[in-house]
Amino acid sequence: MTPGITQVSGQSTDESATQQENANGDLPENALNVWLQAAENVGGLVVDYAAEAVSARWIKVAHPGKKVQAGVPPQCWMEHVLEVTFPSTAGHSVSFLQRPKNVNSFKESIASIVGFQVKYTILLNMKADDPYSEVCDEIYGLLNRKRSYYGCAEESPLSNALGVEEDGIEPWRYQLVRIKEKCRRLRGEAGNQDTLIIETLYDIAGHAAVGIACIHAKKGKKNEL
């Protein structure tokens, strides 16, 4: 299956992160209404294209500029992301909404509604009736959130994964080590909790995908020589 398209917009700065930490944490319950209201504020064709969204939700991800530390409250290193899903037939609409001018307008509009700057993600659901579709979309979304967390640029998403070569480690083998680490987690306490099992299996799938992408990337480089 072809994974969904994800576009992360409205990159948070240290200032916006501080604004979010200082906010009361109350976000509008209906995330889809926030998306549609933001579109109305922008106006023009954005209104019609944005209305094709089928769902939206608030998710929390680790802030790329902050590291998780023991004893530090979660709100100090987590940030909200508005995740919006479009049907497989909305490829043209998603492309229009991803134009830089529209991205910046949406960023400002959403911030005016919730009171601080947040990132937003657009997912294109390729096969809504396929049981594998949601799982694959979640894996793709996970990889993009991790890319943001590790500070990889949009044009070089594998920079961190390929960087282990500097220490003499093959990138795909490093991902294999991480997979084995996750497998040990499943053999431990995590193996008794459905939520942790699912999260860990997503992590394993993500590391496998990164390993495959690293192999493809290295082959591409060799072919260019």
Residue-number span of the structural domain to which 202 is assigned: 159-224
Bigger pLDDT: 222 vs 162: 162
- pTM (2 decimals)? 0.48
Of 92, 91, 99, 65, the residue nearest 79 (C-alpha): 65
Residues 64-112: tens digit of each pLDDT: 554 444 454 444 456 788 999 988 778 888 888 988 888 889 989 999 9
Does 78 share its domain with 173? no
Tell me if 154 is assigned to some domain.
Answer: no
> What is the spatial distance between Cα 120 and Cα 57, in angstroms, rounded to a whole number?
10
Cβ partners under 8 Å of residue 35, min gap 6: 50, 53, 56, 82, 84, 110, 120
Q: In the listed set 149, 170, 204, which residue is the last one of a domain according to the structure?
A: 149
pLDDT (tens digit per residue) in 24-70: 356 788 899 999 999 999 999 999 999 999 999 988 776 555 444 44
Q: In whole numbers, what is the pLDDT of the chain averaged over residues? A: 77
111 with 212, same domain: the answer is no
Final residue in a domain of this structure, among 149, 180, 205 = 149
